[in-house]
Amino acid sequence: MHTTSPRRRTIRAVTLGMAAAVALAGCGSSEPEPSATYDLGTPVAGEVPEGVFEGVTLTFAGSGGIFQEGQTTAAWTPFAEVTGATFQQDAFDPGKLKAMVESGNTTWDLVNTTQFDTARFCGTLYEEYDYSKVDISKVPEGTITDDCMVPQILYGLVVAYNTEAFGDNPPTSAADFFDTEKFPGKRTVSMSQYVDPQMLEFAIVADGGDTANLTPEQIPTAMEKYRSLGDDVIGWTSGAQAQQQLESGEAVMGLVWSGRGYGAAAAGAPVAPMWDEWMVMVDSTGIPKGTKNLDAAFAAVNFYGGAEQQATMTEETSYGPINTEAKPELDDTLKTWMTTENLETGHYPNVDFWVENYDALATEWSGWVTGG
């Protein structure tokens, strides 16, 4: 069963290191200065008045690498050129964000984080969106999952398999990933510090479970399913490592981010995606609590969501656009890996469940990544 997440306020911490409880923004510090306001008219995705933010400086904290570079090329640099704003770049760190907000000295205006992060800390670390200031009419259905985000990219947790090993008999289900008799060889899965409930959901789907109706008892069972692979399971702690394992042939299957599977295929590795069952993933554009440029941040998000900007972003980064009218020019390899072409077979996360059961999830995940 494939479920679409309604818009709701929910969920998970980005890393095991983040505290389970977060103090309200500004606690123990002076009130932040009020944000400047501008008359921007009715928002239209991809458009912004010329020269409107002359003298304003915005800072975007992203995930780095080709993705942040592609975003800058597609949206942030053009936004600065049109509006007169200065657009600075930084690296996102959840601990740094928390410290900023709690000290009342927020210097970031936009961040790239997970949908779980914005949902879990909506209203404390992140500003609630005023959706009258952002055109979300072309945003894919089911991808706004809390009141403190709009989607930044669409990607997926997908099975990437070696076509030389399984080209005549490819895997077609989550259960096949765990069937080492029918599909022999090493599998690679996440063992990173980042808690990934969708990896557990994948194991639950493999056992015939319904992600819309999860129970706490399924959490250790799902984790044990990966342990049951024994010597046939290896771990990746970064997307780059997952890609390298696929390229080298060290793993004949991987449960990896779609962009990393594409990277391996684009590098010439005999790797293809399985779209029969996959996990839909969304990154959020969050606005840190206490930004002094709230209207400018909304305008930048609105500009980023334009069809032209999203087409360029996809061409530059390989990640799926968050505007349904975007028409990126895709080569044959990228078409094969494009998540937005396969949304009907994707499973959306049960965010409410993972909020309510985060402590149990974190405990299991800690044991998994430490070999416990």
Going from N- to C-terminal start, the domains of the chain cover 155-281
Q: Which residues contact 260 (CB under 8 A, 6 or more apart)?
A: 160, 239, 240, 242, 243, 246
- Which pair of tokens denotes residue 329? 């020019």
Q: What is the pTM of this model?
A: 0.84
pLDDT tens-digit map of 175-231: 999 999 999 999 999 999 889 999 999 999 999 999 999 999 999 999 999 999 999
Angle at 27 between CA 22 and CA 33, to 5 degrees: 120
Characterize the bridge pairing of strands 253-257 and 150-162.
Answer: antiparallel
- For 287-343, how does the pLDDT look when each residue is reduced to its tens digit (9 = 90+)? 999 999 999 999 999 999 999 999 999 999 999 999 999 999 999 999 999 998 899
The vertex-260 CA angle with 169 and 174, nearest 5°, equals 40
| pLDDT of amino acid 7 | 34
Q: Is 227 exposed, middle or buried (0-12, 13-18, 19+ CB in 10 A)?
A: exposed
Question: What letters, b where the CB count within 10 A reaches 16 and e where it falls short, cover 336-370?
Answer: bbbbbebbeebbbbbbbbbbebbeebbebbeebbe
Share of the chain above pLDDT 90, in %: 79
Asked if 156 and 257 touch (Cβ cutoff 8 Å), the reply is yes
Per-residue pLDDT at 28: 42
Model confidence over 83-104: pLDDT tens digits? Answer: 999 999 999 999 999 999 999 9
248: pLDDT strictly greater than 70 = yes
Lowest mean pLDDT across 28-37, 72-81, 123-132 = 28-37
pLDDT-based confidence at residue 38 (cuts at 50, 70, 90): confident
Alpha helices in 113-238 (DSSP H): 115-120, 163-166, 174-177, 197-206, 218-227
- C-alpha of 28 from chain center: 32
CA neighbours closer than 13 Å in the CB half-sphere of residue 86 = 5
- The fold adopted by the segment(s) 155-281 is D-Maltodextrin-Binding Protein; domain 2 (3.40.190)
% of residues, the chain, pLDDT over 70:
90
Average of pLDDT values for 115-130? 93
Cα dist. 75→124, 143, 214 in Å? Answer: 27, 20, 39
How confident is the model at residue 35, as a pLDDT? 60
